[in-house]
Amino acid sequence: MRAQGVGAVGRGLGLLADTWTLLILQRAFLGVTRYAGWRETLNISDATLSARLRSLVEADLLEPRPYREGGRERRGYALTERGGDCWKLLLATWYWEQQWVPREVPLPDIVHRECGAAAGVQLACDHCGERVAFRDTEVWRKPGAPALQLLSRVHPRRTRGRLPSDPLSLLPGAMEIIGDRWGATVLGAGLAGVRSFTAFGDELGISPEVLSDRLRRFIELGVMERGFGGTARDGRYRITEKGLASFPIHACLIDWSLRWQVADGAEVDLEILHAGCGERLRVRLVCDRCDTPFTRGSVSPGRPR
Ligand SMILES: [Zn+2]
Ligand SMILES: [Zn+2]
């Protein structure tokens, strides 16, 4: 979708902040290349799968790779360079879910091939190499731009229906955070310091119904809280520790958007700066066991615990 007037980060959100899209990409990283493979492992309808694959090809995240089987040509797809570059977003998502979302069947460990350990994922600045937490950053928005009104011309799209139930692909917490565009935008605005219901509405141009729904779900999920001032009348919202821990997910999404959507001619609408070195935060993900950066091929799922 090339919505007019939407900047790079808005476009990136429009593209990636969608549960099925993220699950299709995740499966591609795990080696799925055939239409039938997604269909079976994701328990997704043909209509939804075809529509998402078409969008992913249009956006140059996947490319068609037809193959022959039983004398017939069948549909297959491979990750492109920019699709493959989503690995950091998916790794950050996996780690946050594993750390913060209680579940009956635990997510598999993230095994770092270089050191062989079940690893934790730390966010670092690719320019200076330092570890980065949310408090070490500043958000820069394009001057004169209508604040965070990134998505006003992109229609919200909710994922309904049954999601897959195997332990690796179901990431219910993370999908609340980045699996839909409005949710991702509301939490991003919360991280950027928006506190009141009115301010969210003004900044995002979001309908009160959609805003109430997303705020309610974020409070249920424990990433936001309300009335923390201790008085019943204090209706302000803020991000909890669990919400702050999801910062690497947002940083990866923004980093990816700026790299690839600016290359396509989109304007820079928002940046995260690393206060330590003053540079734009280009994401590096580091193994907390051996201190070396992860690379795209350096992680695999451990055996389910
Ligand atoms: Zn830095
Ligand atoms: Zn390691």
How many whole angstroms from 101 Cα to the centroid of ligand 1? 29
Q: 159-207: per-residue pLDDT in tens?
A: 444 555 555 556 778 888 888 888 898 998 899 889 999 999 888 888 8
Q: Which residues surround ligand 1, an ion (CB under 5 A)?
A: 125, 127-128, 274, 276-277
**Spatial distance between the Cα atoms of 251 and 239, rounded to a whole number of angstroms:** 16
Q: 76-121: per-residue pLDDT in tens?
A: 999 999 999 999 999 999 999 999 988 777 788 999 999 999 999 9
Ligand nearest to the CA of 114: 2
Q: Is the pLDDT of residue 3 over 50?
A: no
Question: Is the entire prediction scored with pTM above 0.85?
Answer: yes
How many whole angstroms from 55 Cα to the centroid of ligand 2? 35
Sorted by sequence, the CB contacts under 8 Å of residue 38 that are 6+ apart come out as 24, 27, 32, 44, 49, 53
Tokens 């290359």 correspond to: 263
Residue type, 243: G
Output the pLDDT for position 240. 95
- Residue among 261, 282, 243, 255 at smallest CA distance from 89: 255
| Domains defined along the chain, listed by start | 8-301 (1.10.10.10)
How many whole angstroms from 292 Cα to the centroid of ligand 2? 6
Output the pLDDT for position 180. 85
